[in-house]
Structure 1
Amino acid sequence: MKNHSFQHYSHDVGAAVHDAWITTRVKSALAFADTNLALHINVKTHAGIVALSGRVNTHKQCEQAVAIARSVPGVAEVDAKELLTHVFTPGGISEPPNAEESAEDRTQSSKKIDDQ
Structure 2
Amino acid sequence: MKLHSFEQYSHDLAMVAHDTWLTARVKSALTKAEPTFGLHIHVKTHGGEVLLSGMVDTHRQSEQAVDLARSVQGVIDVDTSGLRTHVFKPGSPDE
| Deviations 1:32-72 (CA, angstroms, capped at 9, x unpaired) | 10101111000000000000000000001000000000000
Tell me how far apart the structure 2 counterparts of residues 67 and 59 of structure 1 sit (CA, whole Å).
12
Q: TM-score, normalised by structure 1?
A: 0.78
Q: TM-score, normalised by structure 2?
A: 0.95
Tell me how far apart the structure 1 counterparts of residues 32 and 82 of structure 2 sit (CA, whole Å).
22
What is the total number of aligned residue pairs between the two structures?
Answer: 95
Tell me how far apart the structure 1 counterparts of residues 23 and 47 of structure 2 sit (CA, whole Å).
11
Tell me how far apart the structure 2 counterparts of residues 14 and 64 of structure 1 sit (CA, whole Å).
30
Tell me how far apart the structure 2 counterparts of residues 37 and 62 of structure 1 sit (CA, whole Å).
10
Q: Indicate the structure whose relative CO is greater, using CA pairs within 8 Å and at least 6 residues apart.
A: 2
- Cα-Cα RMSD: 1.3
Greater CA radius of gyration, 1 or 2?
1
Specify the alignment match of 2:19 in structure 1: 19
SS at match of 1:81: strand
Q: Once the two structures are aligned, what percentage of the paired residues are identical?
A: 59
Tell me how far apart the structure 1 counterparts of residues 93 and 84 of structure 2 sit (CA, whole Å).
19
